[in-house]
Amino acid sequence: MSGQVTNIDEMTLSGTKDGKITITTVAEPYGPKSESVASIGISLQAGATEPDWKVHIPKANIDAVITALQKAKSHL
């Protein structure tokens, strides 16, 4: 992954001893002129240099993803 990463937020990952969820934005994640994305990273251990899992969400999809997550939350 290339591009500038901007940290937005970080929170504790529920159900883990020291895991975390990180939210960032990444400019040009796939090289010059690629669309910026929001990135959600999941780390299972503190001090990890890279998340164990991450997902990139294009700006055009963020609202639909938020709506789907709210629906998923209501089913939990």
Render each residue's pLDDT in the chain as its tens digit; 76 residues: 568 999 999 999 999 999 999 999 999 999 999 999 999 999 998 888 889 999 999 999 999 999 999 999 999 9
What are the respective helix, strand and coil percentages of the chain, to the nearest 5?
Answer: 20, 35, 40
Give the separation between CA 76 and CA 65, rounded to whole angstroms.
17
Nearest to 25 by CA among 35, 40, 39: 39
Q: Given this model, what pLDDT does residue 1 score?
A: 56
Give start and end residues of each alpha helix (H) in the chain.
Answer: 59-75
Domain ranges of the chain: 5-75
